Structure 1
Amino acid sequence: MSSNAQPTSRRGRPRSENARRAVLDAAAELALEGAGGAGIDAIAARAGVSRTTVYKWWPSAAAVLLEGLLERTHDTIESPVSATTREALGDYLTRLIALIRDTPPGALLRGLTAASVTDQVVGHALINEWLAPRRAAAVHLLAEGVRRGEVRAGLDYDAVADVLFAPIYYRLMYAHQPLTDRLSAEIMAVCWPGIAASE
């Protein structure tokens, strides 16, 4: 990269890492407390910075929460290299369920998904930065499965990803059924016969 290259993601002065961390932590704490939501004023007060500082770095409270979510979950899309395709997909679903059910980012994801209805910036970011990498990882596993003779050729990978992930996000948003430890195995039991190569 040329030494003249300029960052394009944010305008203004570079962020203090301590202040950035304080803002992200404050936003997460407030969102998880559910005390009327994590507004910019409340985030700034909890973090000990000015609201101008927050707005200088993020366009909205939801954008703060989104950055915190992505930062806390960046390593959740890796799969064991020695697993079969079925094992790798099942493991992937198991870890996604545990993340959503058992950790603070799960609650943040639910809130951000709701916020995306009225905040198009957050909606696009959720699709591009949360959903797309995870779908790409699943598609990669499927493509590798075809190469290894474990997955049948000609599948619509996007449709398969929808079928694999939909029960998890459906239960996250509606809470009509629990995100159980057995859910990933149940999803794979239903889906794998339509994915697997003919023996």
Structure 2
Amino acid sequence: MVGDQGTAKRGRPRSPQVRAAVVRAAVELALDGGPGAATVDAIAKHAGVSRTTIYKWWPSSAAIVLEGLLDSVHASIVRPPGSSSPAALHHHVRELNRILAEPRTGPLLRNVIAAAASDQAITRAVIDQWIAPRREAVAEILRQAVAAGELPGSTDIEVAVDALVSPPYYRLTLGMPPLDDAAAGRLTETVWRGLIE
């Protein structure tokens, strides 16, 4: 997957069936054999599509893998119906921590993040297909809390997001034990309390 890149083009929307087959193939290959197994050639063969089809809609195999991973855990960034702001934040942090602690998903993401240090296509994929959607989900919870008067109008949303989501990634990349549910709850409570004081 490292260095495996092309140029995504705009135009006719992707076929939902083709997209589903491609992202499913990418995730299956990456989870079974690591990120290096999810090359464009392997994804195309596994999904039954051409390389041209893949490069028409994705800039790299990393982008496909990360898009597929996000699809598979999409519920983790959806606010639970009727949840309070602190509960919604706790849901996000707990689920992120759970995903990163999974025996196959965690190492896969760690390897992709490590590869991003030397490959701009992978860096872009990590940001666009994984980091940005997850950060936006947390930021939206915080913006809603500010709008509802639960948090001060001066709340620095970006700093608050960093405080909430950085610890699970820090532990993942350094090979430390993941937070347990109780610790994730304490993290969320501590950040929330700091924002309202």
> Shorter-normalised TM-score: what interval?
0.7 to 0.9
Alpha-carbon separation, structure 1, partners of 2:136 and 2:10: 30
Instruction: Provide the residue aligned with 2:166 in structure 1.
Output: 166
Tell me, yes or no, if the aligned pair for 1:69 and 1:109 is still in contact at 8 Å: no
Instruction: Provide the residue aligned with 1:22 in structure 2.
Output: 21
> 5+ residue gaps in structure 1?
1-8
Instruction: Provide the residue aligned with 1:139 in structure 2.
Output: 139
Tell me, yes or no, if the aligned pair for 2:86 and 2:192 is still in contact at 8 Å: yes
Under a length normalisation based on structure 1, what TM-score does the superposition of the two structures give?
Answer: 0.74
Deviation larger for 152-161 or 42-51: 42-51
Instruction: Provide the residue aligned with 2:4 in structure 1.
Output: none
Q: CA deviation at 1:88?
A: 2.1
Q: Which structure is higher in helix share? A: 2
* RMSD of aligned Cα (Å): 3.1
Tell me, yes or no, if the aligned pair for 2:146 and 2:155 is still in contact at 8 Å: no
Deviations 1:29-71 (A, max 9, x none): 2211236532233333333444454444433321221332233
Alpha-carbon separation, structure 2, partners of 1:139 and 1:17: 29
- Change in 2 beyond 3 A, CA 1:117/1:149: same
Q: Secondary structure at the match of 1:76?
A: helix
Deviation larger for 51-60 or 150-159: 51-60
Instruction: Provide the residue aligned with 2:31 in structure 1.
Output: 32
> 5+ residue gaps in structure 2?
1-7
Q: Secondary structure at the match of 1:182?
A: helix
Alpha-carbon separation, structure 1, partners of 2:76 and 2:181: 17
- Identity among equivalent pairs (%): 43
Q: Which structure carries more relative contact order (alpha carbon 8 Å, separation 6+)?
A: 2
- Change in 2 beyond 3 A, CA 1:63/1:23: same
Under a length normalisation based on structure 2, what TM-score does the superposition of the two structures give?
Answer: 0.74
- Change in 2 beyond 3 A, CA 1:85/1:56: closer
- Change in 2 beyond 3 A, CA 1:14/1:189: closer
